[in-house]
Amino acid sequence: METTPNLQVYDLGHLGLVASIVDQIGLVQTVDQFVGPRPGEKVSTGMALKAAILNALGFVTSPLYLFGHFFQGKPTELLLGPGITPELLNDDRMGRMLDSLYAAGVTELFVEVAKSARRAFPFPVRALHVDSTSFHVHGVYGSGEEGQTDTGDEPLVIRLTHGYSRDHRPDLKQWVMNLICADTGGIPLLFAPGDGNQSDQEALVPLLARYRQSLELGEVVVLDGASYSQENLGALRGFSWVMRVPATLKEAKVLLREELPQEAWRPLLPGYRGLEVESEYGGVRQRWLLVESQERARMEEASLQQRIARAEGEARKVLGRLTARTFACEADARRALSEASGRLPLHRLVYLGVQEERQWERVGRPRKGERPLAVVYRLRARLEVDQEKLERARRGLGRFLLATNVLDREG
């Protein structure tokens, strides 16, 4: 009679696929080589990091001391290697792994892992996208006011503090994640944590320049308009870049609202048209591409109608304050009306005349022959939409500006 073999059943789930990808990109070997071995360790830093990746993709958020429990009932030796058991993946080992990664430099290590991944899975990269996002945190932290000097010798401790919140929680402290990604699938090539109140204008371009050699940059760099400044354009010499031009620049304001002849535009993608102008903003020769989007224009037209309604409410308050005032003469009243009307973004105040008022010493009917203390004037005016201002605002709908220092028209 045949005996049934002693079988053990484990839950592999999706972890086999994840572990296989980790092995193919050489993450464990890259980390161990970068960090260096520790005498007598049974689980290397790279292998502990692999375990952390498997845990994170298991969508488990547990305290570190429960880390090993995640691997109970899973084929740990198959996933991580012979002799590795859940008991070895304790909080002490995982804590030392995190300390080792911090001491080695998480950004530098990420770059090396990304390079190893590119060698394992070659893919074309035409452009690199540089941007940041924020993650809020719960709990009590320090004031975040302690400044540090980046000497380049030791990793900096980021500050958890209040800043511009991309995830709409300005009430909570946060930290910032800076990323450089390939245009192919948005694959990250560089990760760098930053302070919660980091300014993209001051942080992203220096980060790009600092890791230029490590990233083996040969592609066009795409940055947001926050990085478009005279100082950053100077720092980007030697790079090929594409950036959005902030609408707050004087030159951009003129171009975005300018009435342009139809023949100056040329079709781009379906629903888009554009025209090109030359610029030397910041002392750098560049091409500006003014783009107009039909879909974006429709969306912004709806927003413009809301702006008109809000602006009308504010304008009526201005008109109310003006008509409640008294003026020494008609000329003063006209001047005040003109100044107030000029400050209104989408409306104007139309002069209807003045009403003369006499101020007497006593309340009631003045006595015969009594002279008034003063003669003042009150404005009469009406509010209406300024069609010229509205047309100027409509000319900017759907428009945005892109800039590049790639001067080749075929680039």
* d(C-alpha 404, C-alpha 244), whole Å: 9
Q: What is the pLDDT of residues 273-315, one digit of tens each?
A: 999 999 999 999 999 999 999 999 999 999 999 999 999 999 9
Q: What is the pLDDT of residues 304-340, one digit of tens each?
A: 999 999 999 999 999 999 999 989 899 999 999 999 9
CATH 3.30.420 correct for 123-144+155-243: yes
Name the band, by pLDDT with cuts 50, 70 and 90, for residue 195. very high
pTM of the model: 0.76
CA angle 265, 270, 275 (to 5 degrees): 20
Q: Are 169 and 91 in contact (CB under 8 A)?
A: no
Residue ranges of alpha helices (H) inside 171-293 are 200-210, 212-215, 230-235, 250-257
Where do the domains of the chain lie?
15-116, 123-144+155-243, 245-362+371-411
Question: Helix, strand, or coil here: 291?
Answer: strand
CA angle 195, 94, 133 (to 5 degrees): 25
* d(C-alpha 135, C-alpha 354), whole Å: 58
* d(C-alpha 358, C-alpha 374), whole Å: 6
What's the full length of the chain, in residues? 411
Q: Report DSSP letters for 353-387, one per residue.
A: EEEEEEE-SSSSSPPTTPPPSEEEEEEEEEEEE-H
| Structure tokens that stand for 102 in this block | 């911090």
